[in-house]
């Protein structure tokens, strides 16, 4: 059973919440719960920037990227002029 909680929201927040409720065809409670879950994950379990790129490559592109990374780890011939 859900617990009753009282809090105050700005006029802008109430307007945004109402618009989301209409657009998403769900309750204000569901919207606030989902937003809170996402915010908590972001703050409590921050992830590295690399995850921002997750899923943007197809299999062939990902395989090529991994191959290039692996070959750059093996080939460490660096030419430095001092």
Q: Within a domain: residue 15?
A: yes
* 2 CB burial (10 A radius; 0-12, 13-18, 19+): exposed
Q: What percent of the chain has pLDDT over 70?
A: 80
38-62: pLDDT as tens digits: 898 888 877 766 666 777 888 888 8
Please state the pTM of the whole predicted model: 0.56
Residue 28: band (very low, low, confident or very high) from pLDDT cuts 50, 70, 90: very high
Q: Which of 9, 17, 12 is nearest to 35 (CA)?
A: 17
E strand map for 1-82: none
| 4 lies in some domain | no
Q: Which two structure tokens, joined as six digits, stand for 15?
A: 């307007």
Structural domain of residue 37, as residue ranges? Answer: 11-74
Is 69 part of a structural domain of the chain?
yes
Q: Is residue 22 a part of any domain in this protein?
A: yes
User: 80 in a domain, yes or no?
Assistant: no
Could you tell me if residue 46 is inside a domain?
yes
The pLDDT > 90 percentage for the chain reads 43
Please, which residues have CB within 8 angstroms of residue 9's CB and are 6 or more apart in sequence? 17
Domain-embedded: residue 1: no
Provide the pLDDT for residue 52: 67
Q: How many domains does the chain have?
A: 1
């Amino acid at each position: 059973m859900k617990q009753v909680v009282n809090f105050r929201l700005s006029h802008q927040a109430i307007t945004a919440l109402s618009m989301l409720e209409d657009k998403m065809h769900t309750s204000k409670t569901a919207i606030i719960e989902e937003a809170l879950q996402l915010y908590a994950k972001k703050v409590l379990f921050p992830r590295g920037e690399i995850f921002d790129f997750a899923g943007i490559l197809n299999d062939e592109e990902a395989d090529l990227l991994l191959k290039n990374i692996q070959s750059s780890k093996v080939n460490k011939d660096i030419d430095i002029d001092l």
